[in-house]
Amino acid sequence: MKLRMMTVAGLALALAGCTTTGGAGGGNAVEAKWLGKPAGGFFAAYGPPVSDTESGSSTIYSWKGGYKTRRVPAEYAKTADGKRGKLISPARTLYLSCSVQITTDSDYVIRAIRIQGDRKSGSGPSYCEEFLGDAKAQ
């Protein structure tokens, strides 16, 4: 049991150390917005965590939310005379959500935030970056 707790603590510290070396700017919009801020602000804005695990002086929270259904219309090729041509991609429905792992220190300040489940579409931001990052509409 002690070995398991020490392994989890070591892994969490290694993960936290690797994630925060990029500075306050972070590697994506979610990190840039939330690193160094109180976790209470995150949970007040987006809801409570699903679970938490104590790891030494750190706590690791698992959070999931941002459920959204997005409908993508069908795409058609244009013919030479400007009319709708052959079907390129059919209409579809995307079921979106975001899952992150948040590591806080003993002062309840976010030291690492890692996106675990996300959907990337095209060249723009991923859904988590859109929902939790600066692209979020207030």
pLDDT at residue 41 in the model: 94
Give Cα separations from 137 to 11, 129, 130, 131, 132 (angstroms).
35, 12, 9, 8, 10
pLDDT at residue 118 in the model: 80
pLDDT in tens, 76-131: 998 888 888 899 999 999 899 999 999 999 999 999 999 998 877 666 778 888 88
pLDDT at residue 11 in the model: 52
End-to-end CA distance of the chain: 45
Whether residue 15 is predicted with pLDDT greater than 80 in this model: the reply is no
φ, ψ for residue 54, nearest 5 deg: -80, 135
Whether residue 53 is predicted with pLDDT greater than 90 in this model: the reply is yes
